[in-house]
Amino acid sequence: MDRLIDVFRQEGFEGASLARLQDASGLKRSSLYHRFPDGKNDMACAVVAEVTNRFGTRILAAADSDSPLEHRVGDIGRNLVGFYDDGHLPCLLDTMSIGRPAKDVAELLDQATTAWINALAGLSREAGHSRREAQIRATDAVVAIQGALVLARITGDRSAFERAITALPERLL
């Protein structure tokens, strides 16, 4: 799964050819189709589901801990740094949404993004912001992080990612 994740993370849905997925996985085409009967679409759904699960357990779970609010936001920031290898790794939400992913893949990407925003909005609500203000703050935080990851992917400069993570408490709280 990690190898498939890497291909989709680097190539996106449209760029991830079956030949590239086959090479990365080390499986023959028939073995890939045995595991993923609908081909690339099934692989993409499995990859998005796996990354969403990892994101939830490694990052969003911090929002539900018993730690003080400021610590939870700090933990999320630190976990994001680790998850994206300090801005070296592109975000699957970004690369998989380039072009025209299959409808079920697009729905999974939407669900993952919504879960991320809602988790951050919950923290912002806990800090005393109205539902609307918390949603705006959370959305802006995700936009800043995602935009910084895109810049890092394009330019190699990860300083915007560092600033987005540093500004996370201010944006949410």
Residue 102 CB neighbour total at 10 angstroms = 15
What are φ and ψ of residue 26, in 5° steps?
80, 10
End-to-end CA distance of the chain: 36
For residue 153, give both structure tokens.
Answer: 């992917």
**Contact indicator for 131, 40 with CB cutoff of 8 Å:** no
Q: For the chain, how many structural domains are there in total?
A: 1
pLDDT band for position 99 (cuts 50, 70, 90): confident
Q: Which pLDDT value is given to residue 48?
A: 98
Residue type, 109: L
Q: Please report, for the domain that includes residue 30, its CATH number.
A: 1.10.357.10
d(CA 117, CA 132): 12
Residue length of the chain: 173
User: pLDDT digit string (tens) for 136-162?
Assistant: 999 999 999 999 999 999 999 999 999
SS3 content of the chain, % helix, strand, coil (to 5): 80, 0, 20
pLDDT tens by residue, 15-56: 999 999 999 999 999 999 999 999 999 999 999 999 999 999
Domain encompassing residue 11: 2-172
pLDDT surpassing 90 at residue 100: no
Average pLDDT, whole number, for the chain?
96
- Look at residue 104 and tell me whether its pLDDT is greater than 90: yes
Q: Where residue 10 falls among pLDDT bands split at 50, 70, 90?
A: very high
DSSP annotation string for 29-90: HHHHHHH-TTTHHHHHHHHHHHHHHHHHHHTGGGGGSSS-HHHHHHHHHHHHHHHTGGGTSP
Rg (Cα) of the chain, in Å, rounded?
17
